[in-house]
Protein backbone atom coordinates (compact mmCIF):
# COMPACT_ATOMS: atom_id res chain seq x y z
CA UNK A 1 0.00 0.00 0.00
CA UNK A 2 1.42 3.36 -1.01
CA UNK A 3 1.71 6.53 1.11
CA UNK A 4 -1.31 8.38 -0.35
CA UNK A 5 -3.56 5.40 0.39
CA UNK A 6 -2.16 5.18 3.93
CA UNK A 7 -2.96 8.87 4.43
CA UNK A 8 -6.52 8.25 3.23
CA UNK A 9 -6.88 5.36 5.70
CA UNK A 10 -5.44 7.56 8.46
CA UNK A 11 -8.10 10.18 7.67
CA UNK A 12 -10.81 7.52 7.88
CA UNK A 13 -9.41 6.39 11.26
CA UNK A 14 -9.56 9.98 12.53
CA UNK A 15 -13.32 10.28 11.89
CA UNK A 16 -14.55 8.41 15.00
CA UNK A 17 -12.00 10.28 17.11
CA UNK A 18 -13.25 13.65 15.84
CA UNK A 19 -16.82 12.65 16.64
CA UNK A 20 -15.84 11.30 20.07
CA UNK A 21 -14.03 14.53 20.98
CA UNK A 22 -17.08 16.55 19.90
CA UNK A 23 -19.35 14.38 22.05
CA UNK A 24 -16.95 14.84 24.98
CA UNK A 25 -17.03 18.62 24.37
CA UNK A 26 -13.31 18.66 23.58
CA UNK A 27 -13.94 20.98 20.66
CA UNK A 28 -10.41 22.34 20.35
CA UNK A 29 -8.97 18.82 20.17
CA UNK A 30 -11.65 17.86 17.64
CA UNK A 31 -10.83 21.00 15.64
CA UNK A 32 -7.11 20.26 15.59
CA UNK A 33 -7.79 16.66 14.56
CA UNK A 34 -10.19 17.89 11.85
CA UNK A 35 -7.46 20.22 10.53
CA UNK A 36 -4.94 17.35 10.49
CA UNK A 37 -7.45 15.11 8.69
CA UNK A 38 -8.07 17.87 6.15
CA UNK A 39 -4.33 18.29 5.58
CA UNK A 40 -4.05 14.55 4.86
CA UNK A 41 -6.75 15.08 2.22
CA UNK A 42 -4.58 17.64 0.46
CA UNK A 43 -1.38 15.62 0.91
CA UNK A 44 -2.68 12.28 -0.35
CA UNK A 45 -3.86 13.81 -3.62
CA UNK A 46 -0.75 15.92 -4.07
CA UNK A 47 1.63 13.02 -3.43
CA UNK A 48 -0.38 10.62 -5.59
CA UNK A 49 -0.37 12.99 -8.57
CA UNK A 50 3.20 14.23 -8.20
CA UNK A 51 4.72 10.76 -7.85
CA UNK A 52 2.32 8.88 -10.15
CA UNK A 53 0.89 6.90 -7.23
CA UNK A 54 -2.76 7.25 -8.23
CA UNK A 55 -4.65 4.00 -7.59
CA UNK A 56 -8.21 2.82 -8.08
CA UNK A 57 -8.45 2.46 -4.31
CA UNK A 58 -7.40 6.08 -3.86
CA UNK A 59 -9.79 7.34 -6.54
CA UNK A 60 -12.63 5.66 -4.66
CA UNK A 61 -11.59 5.96 -1.00
CA UNK A 62 -10.35 9.57 -1.00
CA UNK A 63 -13.66 11.26 -1.89
CA UNK A 64 -15.60 8.81 0.30
CA UNK A 65 -13.34 9.64 3.26
CA UNK A 66 -13.86 13.37 2.65
CA UNK A 67 -17.63 13.04 2.61
CA UNK A 68 -17.78 10.82 5.68
CA UNK A 69 -15.44 13.13 7.62
CA UNK A 70 -17.41 16.28 6.79
CA UNK A 71 -20.85 14.79 7.33
CA UNK A 72 -20.00 12.93 10.55
CA UNK A 73 -18.49 16.06 12.09
CA UNK A 74 -21.39 18.26 10.93
CA UNK A 75 -23.93 15.80 12.33
CA UNK A 76 -22.05 15.54 15.64
CA UNK A 77 -22.04 19.34 15.89
CA UNK A 78 -25.83 19.68 15.47
CA UNK A 79 -26.87 18.62 19.00
CA UNK A 80 -23.68 19.71 20.73
CA UNK A 81 -23.02 23.20 19.35
CA UNK A 82 -26.13 23.91 17.30
CA UNK A 83 -24.58 23.58 13.86
CA UNK A 84 -27.34 24.30 11.33
CA UNK A 85 -29.06 20.96 10.70
CA UNK A 86 -30.38 22.12 7.36
CA UNK A 87 -26.84 22.72 6.09
CA UNK A 88 -25.84 19.15 6.93
CA UNK A 89 -29.01 17.88 5.22
CA UNK A 90 -28.28 19.85 2.05
CA UNK A 91 -24.72 18.51 1.95
CA UNK A 92 -25.90 14.93 2.55
CA UNK A 93 -28.59 15.16 -0.15
CA UNK A 94 -26.19 16.62 -2.71
CA UNK A 95 -23.51 14.02 -1.99
CA UNK A 96 -25.99 11.16 -2.35
CA UNK A 97 -27.35 12.61 -5.60
CA UNK A 98 -23.92 13.24 -7.13
CA UNK A 99 -22.65 9.81 -6.05
CA UNK A 100 -25.72 8.25 -7.67
CA UNK A 101 -24.96 10.20 -10.83
CA UNK A 102 -21.37 8.97 -10.75
CA UNK A 103 -22.60 5.37 -10.47
CA UNK A 104 -24.78 5.84 -13.56
CA UNK A 105 -21.81 7.40 -15.36
CA UNK A 106 -19.43 4.58 -14.43
CA UNK A 107 -21.90 2.03 -15.80
CA UNK A 108 -21.72 3.91 -19.10
CA UNK A 109 -17.93 4.12 -19.03
CA UNK A 110 -17.86 7.82 -18.15
CA UNK A 111 -15.80 9.32 -15.33
CA UNK A 112 -17.14 12.53 -13.81
CA UNK A 113 -14.26 14.52 -12.31
CA UNK A 114 -14.66 16.90 -9.40
CA UNK A 115 -15.59 20.36 -10.60
CA UNK A 116 -14.01 23.62 -9.47
CA UNK A 117 -17.23 24.75 -7.77
CA UNK A 118 -17.35 21.47 -5.83
CA UNK A 119 -13.83 22.12 -4.57
CA UNK A 120 -14.80 25.63 -3.46
CA UNK A 121 -17.84 24.13 -1.70
CA UNK A 122 -15.53 21.74 0.13
CA UNK A 123 -13.47 24.68 1.41
CA UNK A 124 -16.61 26.34 2.78
CA UNK A 125 -17.54 23.05 4.48
CA UNK A 126 -14.11 23.01 6.11
CA UNK A 127 -14.36 26.61 7.33
CA UNK A 128 -17.96 26.30 8.52
CA UNK A 129 -17.03 23.28 10.64
CA UNK A 130 -13.94 25.01 12.03
CA UNK A 131 -15.89 28.16 12.84
CA UNK A 132 -18.28 26.05 14.93
CA UNK A 133 -15.52 24.01 16.59
CA UNK A 134 -13.53 27.09 17.56
CA UNK A 135 -16.62 29.04 18.71
CA UNK A 136 -16.46 31.93 16.30
CA UNK A 137 -19.56 34.11 16.58
CA UNK A 138 -22.60 32.13 15.44
CA UNK A 139 -23.29 34.67 12.70
CA UNK A 140 -20.00 33.73 11.04
CA UNK A 141 -20.81 30.02 11.16
CA UNK A 142 -24.30 30.75 9.86
CA UNK A 143 -22.99 32.91 7.00
CA UNK A 144 -20.47 30.23 6.04
CA UNK A 145 -23.23 27.60 6.14
CA UNK A 146 -25.49 29.69 3.92
CA UNK A 147 -22.73 30.21 1.36
CA UNK A 148 -21.73 26.55 1.61
CA UNK A 149 -25.33 25.44 1.10
CA UNK A 150 -25.78 27.65 -1.95
CA UNK A 151 -22.51 26.36 -3.44
CA UNK A 152 -23.57 22.81 -2.59
CA UNK A 153 -26.86 23.20 -4.46
CA UNK A 154 -25.35 25.00 -7.45
CA UNK A 155 -22.45 22.55 -7.78
CA UNK A 156 -24.90 19.64 -7.61
CA UNK A 157 -26.99 21.20 -10.37
CA UNK A 158 -23.78 21.78 -12.34
CA UNK A 159 -22.94 18.06 -12.17
CA UNK A 160 -26.38 17.05 -13.43
CA UNK A 161 -26.45 19.70 -16.16
CA UNK A 162 -23.02 18.65 -17.42
CA UNK A 163 -24.11 15.00 -17.38
CA UNK A 164 -27.55 15.28 -18.97
CA UNK A 165 -26.40 13.14 -21.91
CA UNK A 166 -26.13 10.17 -19.53
CA UNK A 167 -29.90 10.08 -19.32
CA UNK A 168 -30.72 10.14 -23.03
CA UNK A 169 -33.13 7.45 -24.14
CA UNK A 170 -31.04 6.57 -27.22
CA UNK A 171 -29.01 3.40 -26.95
Residues 6+ apart with CB under 8 A from 166: 101, 104, 105, 108, 110
Domains of the chain: 3-164 (1.20.120.1760)
Alpha carbon distance 45, 42 (integer Å): 6
User: What does each C-alpha distance from 95 to 30, 90, 131, 168 come to in angstroms?
Assistant: 23, 9, 22, 23
For the segment 119-165, what is each residue's pLDDT rounded down to a tens digit? 899 999 999 999 999 999 999 999 999 999 999 999 999 989 888 88
pTM of the model: 0.89
By C-alpha distance, which of 164, 151, 56, 171 is closest to 101? Answer: 164
Alpha carbon distance 5, 143 (integer Å): 34
Alpha carbon distance 84, 75 (integer Å): 9
Per-residue pLDDT at 170? 54
Alpha carbon distance 40, 139 (integer Å): 29
User: 159 with 121: CB under 8 angstroms?
Assistant: no
Cα-Cα end-to-end distance for the chain: 40
Mean of all residue pLDDT scores within the chain = 92
For the segment 49-104, what is each residue's pLDDT rounded down to a tens digit? 999 999 888 888 888 899 999 999 999 999 999 999 999 999 999 999 998 998 88
How wide is the angle at C-alpha 114 spanned by C-alphas 82 and 100, nearest 5°? 75
Amino acid sequence: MNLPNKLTLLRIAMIPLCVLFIILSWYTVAGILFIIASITDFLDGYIARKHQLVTNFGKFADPVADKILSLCVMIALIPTIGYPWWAACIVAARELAVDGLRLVAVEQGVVIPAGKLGKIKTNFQFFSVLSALFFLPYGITLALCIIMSLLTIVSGIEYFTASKNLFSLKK
